[in-house]
Amino acid sequence: MDMSAKDRIRIFDTTLRDGEQAAGGNLNVAEKLQIARQLGKLGVDVIEAGFPAASPGDFACVDAIAREGLDSIIAGLSRTREEDIRACHAAVKAAPRHRIHTFIATSPIHMQHKLNMTPDEVLREIRFAVSLARELAEDVEFSAEDASRSELPFLIQAFRTAAEAGATTLNIPDTVGYATPEEFQEFCRSIIEGTAAPDNVVYSVHCHNDLGLAVANSLAAVHAGARQVECTVNGLGERAGNASLEEIVMALKTRSDRYGLASGLDTTKLHPTSALVSRLSGIHVPPNKAIVGANAFAHQAGIHQHGVMANPLTYEIMKPEDVGASGTELVLGKHSGRHAFRSRIEELGYVLTPDQSERAFALFKKLCDNKKNVSDEDLAALIADEILLTSIENLYDLKHCSVKTGEGPALAVITLGNGQGDISDAATGNGPIDAAYRAIRRAIDLEPELLSFNIKATSDRSDSLGETTVILRSGGVTAPGRGVSTDVIESAVKAFVNGVNRLHVLASAKGVELGKKSENHYE
């Protein structure tokens, strides 16, 4: 579809910023780079890469993404403080096209209880922040946090102030997911009419999903004139998440009769992008999730199956191949060569350096000794866990793990390398994984709390790989961990060790000390 700028919806992806704020979502720089590259291939207009002033680690991630030379605009978030705005600019400026996204709350409840500021002070902050950002960058977005609970006349004043100071995008967030579609459409229309910003200014919308209305509210705002939608892959995000990118994009495409608008995205990349984000974030996609869930195109009822066989349009409003869910899985085996291997991992959304690719190929060949057929899921799990996870500096590596089960409690013996030598310990527990986790805690003299634990098979077959995800916490630091192996116990042990390594990386980035074990109660 040939579309003018007025008919085009810009997709602003905030998976790496708002999405990453979801529980336990601490992606490392290698993982964020993979996601950013895939978002670039998908064709999103803007990638919000992070919040550079939040920590040196966040700054480094945004800077690394900015240096990738992607076609998408790279944005960073910043409060209205001078140091935030300067840090944001420093982090995004290497990108050929970059944006400073600054925000402040405009609702009475936020101004009074969070900011402790009068409305006049907030207006002064907006003028200051947007003017400074415009001195540094041509592309500046202003967001009025909690816009949907703000008073309309004040909100219009806030947006006018931002537009006068040079903002090129004005964003209307439903921060707490409180809006309903009809009301929000009216609200956005009134803002757009009332602000009457110059023609080059784009109105944007950013909806949270607390009432399950984020996508509906975003589309209502589009009806009112918004031409940028902020969203995340798989709807990832704080609390109930953000508007789901794939749902917005496919609603615009499937119902172009209704909207007459299009995003420029390559929708056949939606499925691989969703799988990549789900695997790297450790947050699984429910099977009934629209567009990207495992059952989104599965027809169970006999009457439906009959209809679909006669003519797919009887029950299918989109074709699975339109979203990259063709279901034809290429299975690789020990005779597959480098070329087939490389093109398959690229189709799965991974872009590896030549060195990573060689290592991955060697691991794949090793896996073929244990498994006749290596599926897409096996391959993606292998890359995510063996290549991306090892890109962080590991304090510990797993040297040996053996478990004994049978009558009575299980017994685990663990050996870890710590760069200076080997440390070993043993413990009993309620099953082999519990015993192994207790042995690791003893060996490292640290008691990370296990907040979440999940083991998943990469296929329905008994020769499947086991993929474990955990979320650990210690000393106020939370980190995810992942592990994969044909042996499920080993996958669980690897995940715990990986979580511990990530806890150390995050703790040192934050300058905090992980809580030491006070007394040994894991006997």
Alpha-carbon distance values, 88 to 66, 146, 409, 462 (Å): 11, 22, 53, 49
Q: Whole-number minimum distance, CB 265 to ligand KIV, in Å?
A: 21
Q: Which residues contact 160 (CB under 8 A, 6 or more apart)?
A: 195, 196, 197
Q: Which is nearer to ligand KIV, 209 or 469 (CB)?
A: 209
234 binding partner (options Zn ion, ligand KIV, none; Cβ < 5 to 8 Å by kind): none
Based on the shown chain and the rule CB under 6 A, indicate whether residue 103 belongs to the binding site for ligand KIV.
yes
Q: Which contiguous run of DSSP H or E holds residue 105?
A: strand 98-105
Task: Out of 34, 169, 175, 375, point to the residue binding ligand KIV (CB under 6 A).
Answer: 175
Q: Whole-number minimum distance, CB 229 to Zn ion, in Å?
A: 13
How many angstroms separate the CA atoms of 342 and 357, rounded? 7
Q: Whole-number minimum distance, CB 230 to Zn ion, in Å?
A: 8
Q: Whole-number minimum distance, CB 217 to Zn ion, in Å?
A: 13
Q: Which is nearer to ligand KIV, 32 or 206 (CB)?
A: 206
What single-letter amino acid sits at 142?
F
CA trace torsion 390, 37, 245, 126 (10° rounding) = 100
Q: Which is nearer to ligand KIV, 16 or 412 (CB)?
A: 16
Q: Which residues contact 301 (CB under 8 A, 6 or more apart)?
A: none
Based on the shown chain and the rule CB under 6 A, indicate whether residue 145 belongs to the binding site for ligand KIV.
yes
Q: Whole-number minimum distance, CB 482 to Zn ion, in Å?
A: 26
How many angstroms separate the CA atoms of 249 and 247, rounded? 6
Q: Which residues contact 24 (CB under 8 A, 6 or more apart)?
A: 282, 451, 452, 471, 478, 479, 480
Considering only residues 180 to 219 of the shown chain, the ones binding ligand KIV according to CB under 6 A are 206, 208
Based on the shown chain and the rule CB under 6 A, indicate whether residue 59 belongs to the binding site for ligand KIV.
no
The piece of 68-76, 168-176, 301-309, 356-364 that touches ligand KIV (CB under 6 A) is 168-176
The piece of 10-18, 337-345, 350-358, 369-377 that touches Zn ion (CB under 5 A) is 10-18
20 binding partner (options ligand KIV, Zn ion, none; Cβ < 5 to 8 Å by kind): none
Based on the shown chain and the rule CB under 5 A, indicate whether residue 246 belongs to the binding site for Zn ion.
no
Alpha helices by DSSP H, listed for 400-463, are 432-444
The piece of 12-20, 97-105, 337-345, 368-376 that touches Zn ion (CB under 5 A) is 12-20
3-state secondary structure 16-61: CCCHHHCCCCCCCHHHHHHHHHHHHHHCCCEEEEECHHHCHHHHHH
103 binding partner (options Zn ion, ligand KIV, none; Cβ < 5 to 8 Å by kind): ligand KIV
Q: Which is nearer to Zn ion, 18 or 31 (CB)?
A: 18
Task: Out of 173, 235, 272, 324, point to the residue binding ligand KIV (CB under 6 A).
Answer: 173
Secondary structure class of 446 (helix, strand, coil): strand
**Where are the extended beta strands (E) located within 225-358?**
228-231
Based on the shown chain and the rule CB under 6 A, indicate whether residue 385 belongs to the binding site for ligand KIV.
no
In eight-state DSSP terms, residue 459 is: S
Q: Which residues contact 170 (CB under 8 A, 6 or more apart)?
A: 141, 142, 144, 159, 162, 163, 195, 197, 201, 202, 203, 204
The piece of 5-13, 16-24, 434-442, 482-490 that touches Zn ion (CB under 5 A) is 16-24
In eight-state DSSP terms, residue 15 is: T
Q: Which is nearer to ligand KIV, 143 or 474 (CB)?
A: 143
Strand pairing report for 169-174 and 98-105: unpaired
The piece of 30-38, 171-179, 270-278, 442-450 that touches ligand KIV (CB under 6 A) is 171-179
217-236 footprint of ligand KIV as x/- string (CB under 6 A) = --------------------
- In terms of residues, how long is the chain? 523
Q: Which contiguous run of DSSP H or E holds residue 480?
A: strand 477-485
Task: Out of 9, 12, 16, 18, point to the residue binding Zn ion (CB under 5 A).
Answer: 18
Binding site for Zn ion (CB under 5 A): 18
Binding site for ligand KIV (CB under 6 A): 18, 77, 103, 143, 145, 171, 173, 175, 206, 208
